């Protein structure tokens, strides 16, 4: 009988939850949901490549709106066994698919951002038998230009949560990422080196360049 692993590592991404209420609203102006999807799928193709290039053992759960048209589903799903598409809020995934392992690592990843090689290994190397936040130092990427993220505290959009699987699972989406440390006081960076990219583009204008140029 195969020995039960100490932990299960699940990357969680909200792809387009609640996107098809007629129109999709982020800031202004309002963009039609179909147009937003076509644009976002181009970005997600690079996100997907950055995740699947990681060699470690993990599952990537991507939450999609149940009303997503089939032509989009066929385009984005593929047949990669490490990706599971879940209709609904990814926080509810573990209600439908309970975890057997005694510990769980969940990692946030937006559908337009990127993991650098070694990101998942660095997170898993930090595994400990304690509930803890693990974050990644990252660069902001706009076109070919790179900037420091200027985020000294472990509360960024790439954070992971280690939690014991003995109660209701809360996941890395339990609270907004900049509020997570209010519930989990222990937090560390997985590495001093940047291991992720926040991609700056027209649809995420709320993400401003905050640090000095590094490239």
Location of structure tokens 């699947």:
52
Tell me the two tokens of residue 6. Answer: 């100490």
* Residue 25, pLDDT score: 43
* Residue 36, pLDDT score: 77
Close Cβ partners of 148 (under 8 Å, ≥ 6 residues apart): 139, 140, 210, 211, 212, 214
* Residue 26, pLDDT score: 44
DSSP notation for the chain: -PPPPSEEEEEEEE-STT--SSEE-SSSS-EEHHHHHHHHHHHHHHHHHHHHT--S--EEEEEE-TT--HHHHHHHHTT-TTEEEEES-GGGHHHHS---SSEEEEEE--TT-EEPTTHHHHHHHT--SS-EEEE--EEEEETTEEEE----SS-STT-EEEEESSS----TTSS-GGGGGGT---EEES-SS--EEEEP-GGGTTS---S-B--
H helices then E strands: how many in the chain? Answer: 4, 13
Report strand pairing: 196-199 vs 160-164: unpaired
pLDDT < 50 positions in the chain: 1-2, 22, 24-30
**Nearest by Cα to 102 from 7, 2, 1, 3:** 7
How far is residue 96 from each of residues 50, 92, 170, 188, measured CA to CA in Å?
27, 7, 14, 30
**Nearest by Cα to 159 from 206, 186, 168:** 186
* Residue 38, pLDDT score: 83
* Residue 64, pLDDT score: 86
Location of structure tokens 């098809």:
20
* Residue 215, pLDDT score: 66
Domain positions in the chain are 7-137+153-191
Tell me the β-bridge partners of 24.
Answer: 31
Q: Report pLDDT digits (tens) over 91-125.
A: 899 999 999 999 999 999 999 999 999 999 999 99
CATH architecture of 7-137+153-191: Alpha-Beta Complex (3.90)
CA distance 186 to 105: 15
Neighbours of 78 (CB within 10 A): 10
């Amino acid at each position: 009988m195969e020995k039960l692993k100490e932990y299960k590592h699940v990357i969680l991404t909200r792809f387009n939850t609640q996107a098809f209420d007629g129109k999709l609203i982020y800031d202004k102006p309002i963009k039609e949901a179909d147009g937003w999807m076509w644009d976002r799928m181009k970005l997600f193709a690079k996100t997907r490549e950055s995740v699947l290039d990681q060699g470690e053992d993990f599952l990537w759960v991507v939450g999609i709106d149940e009303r997503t048209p089939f032509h989009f589903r066929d385009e984005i799903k593929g047949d990669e066994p490490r990706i599971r598409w879940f209709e609904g809020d990814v926080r509810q995934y573990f209600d439908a698919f309970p975890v057997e392992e005694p510990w769980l690592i969940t990692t946030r990843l937006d559908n337009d951002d990127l993991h650098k090689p070694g990101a998942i290994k660095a997170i898993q190397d930090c595994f400990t038998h304690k509930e803890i936040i693990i974050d990644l130092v990252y660069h902001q990427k706009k076109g070919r230009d790179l900037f420091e993220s200027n985020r000294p505290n472990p509360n960024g959009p790439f954070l992971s949560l280690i939690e014991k699987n003995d109660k209701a699972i809360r996941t890395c989406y339990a609270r907004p990422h900049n509020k997570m440390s209010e519930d989990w006081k222990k937090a560390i960076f997985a590495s001093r080196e940047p291991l992720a990219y926040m991609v700056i583009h027209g649809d995420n204008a709320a993400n401003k360049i905050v640090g000095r140029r590094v490239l």
